[in-house]
Amino acid sequence: MYIHTKALMDEYESRLILFSVIEPGHTGWGQEIKRVGAIAVLQGLLQGQYDPKTCSGIIKKINDTDVELLQSEVNACESEFIYPGHLKWP
């Protein structure tokens, strides 16, 4: 499993994971990611800094996520995952 075998090293991977597990357009999570960054949000979820009861579904999805598979899926679509702060972000 990705999360437990490799250190979270960058905003890109953290955002890719969060994008895959959080409902698109979720205002609360979007504001939190903007406030502290995706790495901090992802680590906070995994380290219990957010309410584990209300976040249990997200945490389970994160633990089941394979970021390399996500990246493969992006590549297979001949797409690029961009986000605020990315060089190609509008």
Q: What is the DSSP letter of 15?
A: H
Q: Confidence class of residue 1 from pLDDT cuts 50, 70 and 90? A: very low
Q: Which of 2, 3, 10 is nearest to 46 (CA)?
A: 3
Average pLDDT, the chain: 88
Asked if residues 20 and 71 have their Cβ atoms less than 8 Å apart, the reply is: no
Q: In this structure, what are the phi and psi dihedrals at residue 33, rounded to the nearest 5 degrees?
A: -65, -40
Question: pLDDT tens, 54-79?
Answer: 999 999 999 999 999 999 999 999 99
Burial class (CB within 10 angstroms; exposed 0-12, middle 13-18, buried 19+) of 43? middle
What's the one-letter identity of residue 76?
A
pTM for the full model?
0.84
What is the pLDDT, as a whole number, of residue 86?
Answer: 85
Asked if residues 42 and 17 have their Cβ atoms less than 8 Å apart, the reply is: yes
Q: How far apart are alpha carbons 58 and 55 in whole angstroms?
A: 5
